[in-house]
Structure 1
């Protein structure tokens, strides 16, 4: 439960990120917006871990940085600007189901019949929520959100597969730095000079960089190291829940009855698709990584200053075969 609670920080921060991006960041500079989110976060984590890539991690960092950072951040930025906060975050609710299917192919975590049924119900809920003719639902925004969900799901499971004893904080820093540098070059070529930022925008970028990126990605990748993909996907439900709550309570957005029913179907489908007891029943393979013991947790908190010395940090004992 400690690893679940730590992992939960990420989807809550990401759910709030939709509102912050939509309300405070410049809408016409998605490339610079993504670059200013990724690169400073990567440099902060590099300053904390002080490790450089070795061997295959030079090209792995580039690949994962492109998937998990460059492409994903631009798509999320665009979706956040084109869609209401509640809609953009709800589309991402399908990501746990996508992660299950991708994990089946890449890391042999096979979903059962209940998982597939949950995927069908979740997709039906998304269709009910978005294909009802409701005004204000942007088709490009929906496509951007769906693409972001698919890209991130694949990138996260690929990270899980590649992590072979690499420090989580270090691998996260390499991905963010590589993706941020690529975004900065493309932004300079496509969008020209960087946009001028007001004080609220600078404060918003501070949250997006430090909380929704540096901290959130570190704890998310830790969760993928020590928990099955299905369990992490269930924790990811806090993303759309946070987005919907902020969109309705703070941004004044209103959901129709059909959209609320669609959201309920999405949540029901994802809950149904969780392999909480599949490993005990033989329906799926056991996780690649056994739960860490207390000594590993102590080493984890000692080696990574990002989360202090509270006993649950971001780079615990080396893991067998995944990377994020």
Structure 2
């Protein structure tokens, strides 16, 4: 594969990371300001994204609409567990926890995936993985300040549930969808998630008029406001579809390990945007812990040849 401009790859990859990292703040604003539940947010998000990915797939590769029967079950499981549950659990996590910490906890999926590949699939991994795991565990203990119980336990559970869903998506995807176009994987998994949540999300209880209501875009209720439909549209178009597409594009210009490291910067952007808009911040001790976790995640991203994890859900099999 020709990598014409690594610099362009970094710009595209960082843009994707910014959009995805900032989207956690958008979700939090919609839940706190407009009263949506995490399930309803997920319903709108996966449905809108499925439509956009379907349109893109029709333009790029219509063969992606024809799926062999052997792929039906893996894609269905990826849609329900790896996409549907991931989006919902992450939404509930960011509602309870600071956005950056929620995404940081979700990224513990990176070393988990590498361990599963090593233990269950006998895949060779670099020894740095074990250092990465130690850094992640120590860093998480510091971020959570387990000696003082600073984080709400329920929020932590939601975030780890998101990590488990992300882990499932990649473990399943690496071995079951390697021959499918990434947009096809995205479209079908989003479509399945949309169908799944259409029965459970309670979307029908939402008053359509709420989309015209105004909600604050900062932690200050007297600050700037936007109509609900605008951040909801951003959640779908910018925070999901475009971040996915940009991440996919960045891989054309960067080696997989570099793409994985760039993807990890989503956590930094989540912290930054949450601080600027919501006033969420960490104390000095927690910042040290967050740095250790990020260092561990970066090491884990480089522990497997040609395999990286991106919370944008870009199919891993195309990251070589």
Give the alignment's TM-score, normalised by structure 2: 0.77
- Indicate whether 1:39 and 2:47 are aligned: yes
Tell me the number of residue pairs that the alignment of Structure 1 and Structure 2 aligns.
Answer: 285
CA distance 1:248–1:82, shift in 2 (3 Å): same
**Is contact 1:99–1:229 with CA below 8 Å preserved after alignment?**
no
Secondary structure of 1:110's match?
Answer: coil
**Is contact 2:83–2:169 with CA below 8 Å preserved after alignment?**
no
CA distance in 1, matches of 2:170, 2:299: 22
CA distance in 2, matches of 1:160, 1:219: 20
The alpha-carbon deviation at position 105 of structure 1 amounts to: 5.1
- Indicate whether 1:148 and 2:162 are aligned: yes
CA distance in 1, matches of 2:81, 2:251: 16
**Is contact 2:271–2:281 with CA below 8 Å preserved after alignment?**
no
**Is contact 2:257–2:306 with CA below 8 Å preserved after alignment?**
no
Matches within 5 A, 1:238-277: 238-275=265-302
- Indicate whether 1:193 and 2:205 are aligned: yes
The alpha-carbon deviation at position 231 of structure 1 amounts to: 5.0
CA distance in 2, matches of 1:161, 1:225: 21
The alpha-carbon deviation at position 253 of structure 1 amounts to: 1.8
CA distance in 2, matches of 1:6, 1:162: 28
2:21 counterpart residue number = 15
CA distance 1:23–1:245, shift in 2 (3 Å): same
CA distance 1:167–1:40, shift in 2 (3 Å): same
Secondary structure of 2:281's match?
Answer: coil
CA distance 1:271–1:187, shift in 2 (3 Å): closer
Secondary structure of 2:173's match?
Answer: helix
CA distance 1:209–1:28, shift in 2 (3 Å): closer
CA distance in 2, matches of 1:4, 1:107: 32
The alpha-carbon deviation at position 131 of structure 1 amounts to: 3.0
CA distance 1:130–1:27, shift in 2 (3 Å): farther
1:176 counterpart residue number = 190
CA distance 1:156–1:273, shift in 2 (3 Å): closer
**Is contact 1:89–1:244 with CA below 8 Å preserved after alignment?**
no
2:116 counterpart residue number = 102
Give the alignment's TM-score, normalised by structure 1: 0.76
CA distance in 2, matches of 1:226, 1:163: 22
CA distance in 1, matches of 2:233, 2:48: 9
Q: Which stretch of the first structure deviates more once superposed, 229-238 or 206-215?
A: 229-238
**Is contact 2:182–2:318 with CA below 8 Å preserved after alignment?**
no
**Structure 2 unaligned runs (5+)?**
1-5, 215-226, 308-313
1:78 counterpart residue number = 92
2:57 counterpart residue number = 49
- Indicate whether 1:157 and 2:184 are aligned: no
**Structure 1 unaligned runs (5+)?**
279-283, 289-313
Which residue, 18, 22, 30 being the options, matches 1:24? 30
The alpha-carbon deviation at position 228 of structure 1 amounts to: 8.0
CA distance 1:235–1:65, shift in 2 (3 Å): same
Q: Which stretch of the first structure deviates more once superposed, 227-236 or 76-85?
A: 227-236
The alpha-carbon deviation at position 110 of structure 1 amounts to: 2.6
Deviations 1:265-311 (A, max 9, x none): 11222234443xx7xxxxx6x548xxxxxxxxxxxxxxxxxxxxxxx
